[in-house]
Chain A
Amino acid sequence: MKVAKKTIKFLAIAVIALITTTSFASISGNADQNHNVQNHDGGQVNTQKEVTDYIQHHLKDSHDFTFFSYTSEEGERKHFGFSLPVILWSSEGLVTFMSSEFHHNDDGHVIVEKNGLKFAKIHSKIYELNSDAATVSFDETHHATNAHKVLDFSITKSVVGILLASLLMFLGFSALAKQYKTREIPKGLGRALEPLVIYVRDEIARPNIGEKKYKKFMGFLLTVFFFIWILNLLGLTPLGFNVTGQIAVTLALALFTLVIYIFNGSKDFWAHTLWMPGVPYILRPILAIIELTGFILIKPFSLLVRLFANITAGHFVVMSLIALMVTMKEAFGPVASTGMSLVLALFIMVIEVLVAFLQAFIFTMLSSLFIGMAVEEHEHH
């Protein structure tokens, strides 16, 4: 236990040190910034459009980790946070640099040259410019015409969130696992975590998968449940993560469920899916198509969209309600608009805490339900 505590302390200190040094680095980096560049989030967010843009920007993944930004008295835009490594698979192979090289620009005006290639960041996506282009040119719908997307394996804010959640999970639950070596009933954090593990096992896995087979899937279900829950909760903190609102993340999670239940499908499951017994022969191929689309497309799709949409909508609503403070100031005055926004945002925040749990629960629940359907063995009549 002592060793574990020391490592946690060490890690915490290391993280804090890293944050402070990189944030100072980024602030000092910004100081030399050329201010001819038009910054997209150039200061105040006042109008409806700016609010919407700001929210849209938040909902997307980000290449920097910014806690907050402000404009100094000299009119300089300062960002407090730290830059993250950008790792790209470009036409010339692997390219890496720090995200601070974009100087927080998000509309393609800052061009980073690496290995003879030019990169620009437009709406949180990194584009590689065509070799003959010097700047990004846009068409009327604001699509880049002389640049294309690259495969972006950057440690983005979402990846940091995923790593943070993974680290928290690993530390918390391995500590709980260690406690069992010395005592029967855990204490401290473990006492809070243990009922959650039992909850997932007894309320989600056992009833849906069945007493015989649930054990095999416990690792996946527990991991996914706590992963989603922790990330949902992290999304509600001022750190501003929106990991479970990234469709790439929810797609990956849903694909895991799909792969697990496809590869663990029992003979009965495949027989019932592909050649439904007790139905006229003519209908069987049609049913097979319906069942297959259901299992391979619709079920995972419902899983991934449900989580994505719920979390995105939650963030959108909370941010919009906070923005009421700004947008309603003209109509109701500063006190009333602030009060209204505070009360409403608080109310929705409380609901979002519930939703954070609920969505993790539903995802795990439905995953175990689908797994249960696939592994079920029917009694032959």
Chain B
Amino acid sequence: METLLNDFSPGLFAMQIVILIILLFLMKKFAWKPILNSLEERETGIEDALLAAENAKKEMQNLQADNERLIKEARAERDAMMKEARDIRDNMIAEAKEDAKEVTASLIEKAQASIAQEKQAALAELKKNVAELSIGIAESVIKKELSSKQDQLDLVEGILKDVTLN
């Protein structure tokens, strides 16, 4: 310790302090300040550039997503339109079928009605003819059979029997 104290030189100490203060001042002004400022500027520059690149990337992704969305929407729209068209077509066909069915049904009905009318008319004519014919036949039969008195009586009797039975 004594040699340490003995070795201690106050002059050197003072010189060191003075020189260090001057050096600190000079270095701060001419070296450290500009160096540290430029380093910081460069670093913020790099950071900004990285950030900008990141943003650009994100924007690109957004654009891509937008594009995809647009394509999807267009596709969906097309599909919807196609579906609509198909529906319309189906509807038209169905309606047409329905109409056709109605038309045929009414045609058939009319035909049946006219057939039935014709049939009625034909039947009525047939009845009339049959009646006339049977009256004629009956006239001739009666003319021939009621020539005797007995026969006339029998007939009346028979008819009367039927009437009471009824």
Contact B34 A177 (CB under 8 A): yes
Q: Choose one: A173, A184, A198, A247; the contact of B8 (CB below 8 Å).
A: A247
Interface members, chain A 142-183 (any B CB < 8 Å): 151-156, 158-159, 162-163, 166, 169-170, 173-174, 176-178, 180-181
Q: Choose one: B8, B13, B23, B30; the contact of A177 (CB below 8 Å).
A: B30
Q: Which residues on the A side are within 8 Å of B22 (C-beta)? A: 166
Q: Which residues on the A side are within 8 Å of B32 (C-beta)? A: 173, 197, 218-219, 222-223
Contact A170 B27 (CB under 8 A): yes
Contact B30 A246 (CB under 8 A): no
Contact B36 A251 (CB under 8 A): no
Contact A173 B27 (CB under 8 A): yes
The answer to whether A162 and B24 touch (CB under 8 A), given A218-B36, A247-B8, is: no
The CA-CA distance from A30 to B12 in the complex, in Å, is: 27
> A60 an interface residue at 8 Å Cβ cutoff?
yes
Contact B38 A162 (CB under 8 A): no
Across the two chains, which residue of chain B brings its CB closest to A178? B34
The CA-CA distance from A255 to B20 in the complex, in Å, is: 11
The CA-CA distance from A62 to B17 in the complex, in Å, is: 19
Q: Which residues on the B side are within 8 Å of A248 (C-beta)? A: 8-13, 16
The CA-CA distance from A154 to B24 in the complex, in Å, is: 22
Contact A177 B35 (CB under 8 A): yes
Main SS at interface, chain A: helix
Interface members, chain B 1-60 (any A CB < 8 Å): 4, 7-17, 19-20, 22-24, 26-28, 30-36, 38-39, 42
Q: Which residues on the A side are within 8 Å of B15 (C-beta)? A: 153, 155, 159, 162
Contact A201 B36 (CB under 8 A): yes
Q: Which residues on the A side are within 8 Å of B30 (C-beta)? A: 170, 173-174, 177
Contact A159 B39 (CB under 8 A): no
Q: Choose one: A153, A173, A174, A197; the contact of B11 (CB below 8 Å).
A: A153
> A253 an interface residue at 8 Å Cβ cutoff?
yes
Contact A246 B9 (CB under 8 A): yes
The interface size bin for chain A is 35 or more
Contact A180 B9 (CB under 8 A): no
Contact B28 A197 (CB under 8 A): no
Contact A158 B23 (CB under 8 A): no
The CA-CA distance from A154 to B17 in the complex, in Å, is: 14
The answer to whether A173 and B31 touch (CB under 8 A), given A125-B9, A153-B15, A223-B24, is: yes
Contact B11 A222 (CB under 8 A): no
Measured CB to CB, the closest approach of chain A to B30, in angstroms, equals 5
Q: Choose one: B12, B19, B33, B35; the contact of A166 (CB below 8 Å).
A: B19
Measured CB to CB, the closest approach of chain B to A380, in angstroms, equals 31
Contact A170 B19 (CB under 8 A): no
Q: Which residues on the A side are within 8 Å of B9 (C-beta)? A: 61, 125, 152, 156, 246, 248
The CA-CA distance from A178 to B38 in the complex, in Å, is: 10
Across the two chains, which residue of chain B brings its CB closest to A153? B11
Q: Which residues on the A side are within 8 Å of B26 (C-beta)? A: 170
Q: Choose one: A174, A215, A246; the contact of B31 (CB below 8 Å).
A: A174
Across the two chains, which residue of chain B brings its CB closest to A179? B38
Measured CB to CB, the closest approach of chain B to A123, in angstroms, equals 9
Across the two chains, which residue of chain B brings its CB closest to A185? B42
Q: A159-B12, A218-B32, A248-B13 are in contact. List 15 more A-B contacts (CB 8 A).
A: A61-B9, A61-B12, A154-B11, A162-B16, A170-B27, A174-B30, A180-B38, A197-B39, A201-B36, A223-B23, A223-B24, A223-B32, A247-B7, A248-B10, A251-B13
Q: Could you list some 23 contacts between A and B, CB below 8 A? A: A125-B9, A152-B9, A152-B10, A156-B9, A158-B12, A159-B12, A162-B19, A166-B19, A169-B23, A169-B31, A170-B27, A170-B30, A176-B31, A176-B35, A178-B34, A180-B35, A194-B39, A198-B39, A223-B24, A227-B23, A246-B9, A249-B16, A253-B16
